[in-house]
Structure 1
Amino acid sequence: METGEDSSKYPYVSALCMNGGDGDKSYSANSLIMRRVLSITKPVLVKNTKEMFANLDFLESVKVADFGCSSGQNTFLVMSEIVDTINLLCQERNQKQPEIECCLNDLPSNNHRS
């Protein structure tokens, strides 16, 4: 993990960084507990997404953001569930599905390409 300038300016950054890649110590290989939590909380996510869109008549575009995401599949589980819920609501209402922009953001030193 390379934190570069961040680690000298902000010493806590190295403690918050995730290990990229697919190795034994990577976040991806050690995120089963988080995946289980996501699975358990899925009904709450779906319910809250539906409630947010219940009073909206028509949307041309929607932005969904995850501030604090990391590498691995868990990042995409939440986003895909939100997107699926929005698309299902549009189908139920016979509305055109909006353009959905997903923004994934984390510490600059967390490399999602590794």
Structure 2
Amino acid sequence: MGVRAVRGATTVAQDSTVAIDESVRELVSAMIERNGIQKDQLISLLFTATADLHAMFPAAAARAMGLGDVPLMCAQELSIVGAVTHCVRVMMHIEDDRDRGQIHHVYLRGAVGLRDDLPE
């Protein structure tokens, strides 16, 4: 079995636990569903959040979804002038033999244009 990475990002309406939890659950669920990923395929998830998000760790939302036995890590996104604000990004590592071109990366809400070079 090979290793693949699935990318995703979303924005959060406000810096609150409810808003972050909702956005992260929506994003992780969409990444899993669009790629037909089974839980036993998950290797790890790395979350980053922009510096304007403080209310909760994005990984806490993934744990609450039942992914507590999957290694999860959070980090702060680089603070770049002009970057999307209130943004959570995730890199999901999976065991999968598909070609890279068959992986569907997911960008939601205000993050839709971050990687418009990637196929749908």
Give the TM-score band, short-chain normalised: 0.3 to 0.5
TM-score (norm 1): 0.35
Higher relative contact order (CA 8 A, sep 6+): 2
In terms of Rg, which structure is larger?
1
Q: If each structure's strand is expressed as a fraction of its own residues, which one has the higher value?
A: 2
